């Protein structure tokens, strides 16, 4: 969702902290998941079973599908399907149960009409359009030396959309994690110590969304400064 803005500009250094933050956040979530995926939960139930228990407790009938990929877990609000990666769907580790409960938390948000989720979903088409427009704008800019104002203004729009979508995502992800940890503790699926370990995984995952928001805002600042500089050269 957040492709790198590849072009030379004298302001490229602005986004460097965001890139480093994203790399560090990705390392943290991979490290935390890998560490706690080796810790079996005392309940012995799988990630798919946890998601099903939490949804059925609220009377929510949402299909749970297994998908390929590492940490590719997500809730699809359009088709109302919860998809869990193989390492989460079949696993009974503390990490897997935390991730499965987090995704179930998104389904619960949807059922509750959680306003931040509705806002993010409403804005998603704009972010999707910006994602599709990015590559043509970059190619056009590359062949024209980014000298066409339309290209620069288009990139401003794209990164404005990315930044806003990233900001709208933050409360949705934090709330889903809070719901997950509360449900896992209240239902006794995880012990207090296991819940603490699951929290470490979900906090690390949340950090990646914070990093994406920071990166998008810094990239937006970079292209704005580049655009103003280009305009001043005319």
Catalytic residues: 103
Number of H helices and E strands in the chain, helices first, is: 7, 3
Paired with 40 in beta bridges are: 93
SS3 category, 72: coil
What is the 3 state secondary structure string of 110-127? HHHCCHHHHHHHHHHHHH
Residue 71's contacts (CB-CB under 8 Å, 6 or more residues apart) are 29, 30, 33, 85, 87, 99, 205
Write the CA distances from 195 to 2, 49, 76, 149, 181, integer angstroms: 31, 17, 26, 52, 7
| Measured CA angle at 95 (ends 90, 99), to 5 deg | 75
Residue reference for tokens 């030379």? 8
């Amino acid at each position: 969702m957040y492709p790198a803005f590849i072009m030379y500009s004298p302001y490229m250094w602005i986004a460097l902290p965001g890139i480093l933050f994203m790399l560090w956040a990705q390392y943290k979530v991979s490290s935390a998941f890998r560490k706690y995926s080796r810790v079996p939960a005392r309940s012995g139930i799988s990630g798919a079973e946890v998601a099903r228990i939490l949804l059925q407790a609220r009377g929510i009938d949402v299909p749970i599908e297994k998908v390929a990929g590492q940490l590719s877990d997500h809730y699809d609000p359009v088709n109302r399907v919860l998809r869990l990666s193989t390492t989460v769907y079949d696993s009974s580790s503390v990490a897997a149960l935390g991730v499965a409960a987090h995704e179930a938390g998104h389904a619960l948000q949807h059922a509750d009409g959680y306003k931040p989720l509705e806002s993010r979903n409403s804005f998603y088409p704009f972010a999707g359009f910006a994602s599709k427009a990015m590559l043509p704008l970059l190619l056009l800019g590359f062949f024209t030396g980014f000298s066409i104002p339309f290209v620069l203004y288009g990139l401003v729009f794209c990164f404005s959309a990315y930044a806003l979508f990233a900001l709208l995502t933050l409360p949705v992800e934090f709330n889903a994690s809070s719901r997950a940890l509360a449900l896992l503790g209240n239902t006794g699926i995880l012990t207090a110590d296991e819940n603490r370990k699951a929290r470490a995984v979900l906090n690390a995952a949340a950090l990646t969304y914070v990093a994406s928001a920071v990166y998008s805002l810094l990239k937006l600042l970079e292209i704005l400064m580049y655009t103003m500089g280009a305009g001043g050269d005319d």
